[in-house]
Amino acid sequence: MIMVLVGGYVGLLWVLVKVGVFPKWYGWMKVSPVAVWMIAFMSIFLPLNWNAPLGGSMVTVGSVGIKPAVAGPVTEVVAKSRTPISEGEVLFEIDKTPYTAALQQAQAQLALAQDQLARKEELLSRNTVAVAEVEALRANVAVAEAAVTLAEVDLSNTTVRAPFDGMVPAMTLLSGNRVSPNVPVLAFLDVNNPVINLVLSQNQIRNVKAGQKAEAVFKAFPGQTFQGTVSGLFLSSPDAEYDLDGATPEVPTITDTTYVVVLELDTQGQALPPGSSGQGLVLTDQGTKFQFINQLTLRMTTWMNFF
């Protein structure tokens, strides 16, 4: 935009010389474009960097690793890649045979313990056994009941279900694959709650606050500008963290840290695909007179997305 301004100034000088307002090109006219560039940069375009910060934007979604609670071979894969899945729907099944047998065994042991307890309680009523012996059998029944509960839980865990509404980006699990407890076997995306991230450098965030107006454009939606607000800022970086393990912290490598500003956009009922990228800006409370320049830049960008 600054080159457009300087170009317009040079064009104006050329017209004035052509129509005779100036008889010739004077020396000051040849160097004045540099002065105009410097003045415009220092007074308008440099402050825009923090008064209407412009940066790259991307749509991201939360992802969890699906970790089965039990081990065994996969007998059936129900879910399909990139297909909407509702919370509680079956993703895949694990062989139930050993867990069904374990439940039957636990139930048989419970029945035996209950039968033994009933017999001893009848003898206790006749004062022919000690109370301690009956109490021990009651404890055995409680243990057997707990074993049945655990076996039922293990059996139910052979059916792995979706933790929330979402989708599997790529189903790589096949029938016959053996899975282990607490080991992720596939990714599950929370596509219904996308997060729009605007990435800004350190010197751009000084005036950014939650609640300020924001705009964003995406390559997937050329010609469209989405309006919204700043919903939050992540003023942290992995480079600023170190482990509190008692050891002397390592000296961090100095990097040009960037920060994430989370935007809440009115998408006009359109679903923004995860991974959609583009540009966005924040309209801060400072320097509002010239913010239209970056707004114009953003709109030029969205129309260039057609090409």
Residues 142-158: pLDDT tens digits?
Answer: 999 999 999 999 999 99
Q: In this model, does residue 51 exceed pLDDT 90? A: yes
Cα separations in angstroms, 91 against 82, 178, 180, 271: 13, 15, 16, 24
> In this model, does residue 109 exceed pLDDT 90?
yes
For 87, 107, 143, 157, the CA distances from 152, given in Å and listed in that order, are: 21, 10, 14, 9
pLDDT of residue 213: 96
Q: What is the mean pLDDT of residues 109-116?
A: 90
pLDDT digit string (tens) for 184-197?
999 999 988 899 99
- Count of H helices and E strands in the chain? 6, 10
C-alpha distances out from residue 185 to 16, 66, 83, 230, Å: 72, 6, 18, 36
**Residue 245 binned pLDDT confidence (cut-offs 50, 70, 90):** low
Residues of each domain in the chain carrying CATH 2.40.30.170:
55-61+192-241+255-307
**Is the entire prediction scored with pTM above 0.75?**
no
User: Is 90 exceeded by the pLDDT of residue 52?
Assistant: yes
pLDDT band at 32 (very low <50, low <70, confident <90, very high): confident
Task: Give the burial string for 260-272 (b: 16+ CB within 10 Å, else e).
Answer: bbbbebebeeeeb
Topology adopted by domain 62-188: OB fold (Dihydrolipoamide Acetyltransferase, E2P) (2.40.50)
The predicted structure's pLDDT at residue 30: 78
Rounded distance between C-alpha atoms, residue 73 and residue 96, angstroms: 9
Ranges for all domains in the chain classified under CATH 2.40.50.100: 62-188
Helix (H) or strand (E) holding 66: strand 54-66
Q: Is the pLDDT of residue 229 over 90?
A: yes
Mean of all residue pLDDT scores within the chain = 88
* Selection from 178, 194, 201 nearest residue 262 by Cα: 194
What pLDDT, on a 0 to 100 scale, did the predictor assign at position 189?
94
Between 3.40.640.10, 2.40.30.170, 2.40.110.10, 1.10.10.10, what CATH number should domain 55-61+192-241+255-307 receive?
A: 2.40.30.170
Mean pLDDT of 292-304: 92
